[in-house]
Amino acid sequence: MEPKKLYRSRTNRMICGVCGGLGEYMNIDPTIIRLLLVLIAFTGAGILAYFIAAIIIPDEY
């Protein structure tokens, strides 16, 4: 069995596909990831973390 790899989703994306990719990787609804990101974004670090993840995580091929 091949190990799972984390990719930005091409099919389930709103902005860059980070939340969609995390949802697919963890087998949970990406909407839950998005809601958590909104809560974390109020600290200011969440927005920065999202864009860093968008740069680091490769796009799904």
Q: Given this model, what pLDDT does residue 58 score?
A: 92
32: in domain: yes
26: in domain: yes
Q: What are the pLDDT digits (tens) for 11-28?
A: 888 888 899 999 999 999
13: in domain: no
44: in domain: yes
- Phi, psi for 59 (deg, rounded to 5): -75, 145
34: in domain: yes
Domain that holds residue 51: 18-56
23: in domain: yes
8: in domain: no
C-alpha separations of 9 from 3, 4, 33, 45 in Å: 17, 14, 13, 22
The pTM of the full predicted model, rounded to 2 decimals, is 0.81
Count of domains forming the chain: 1
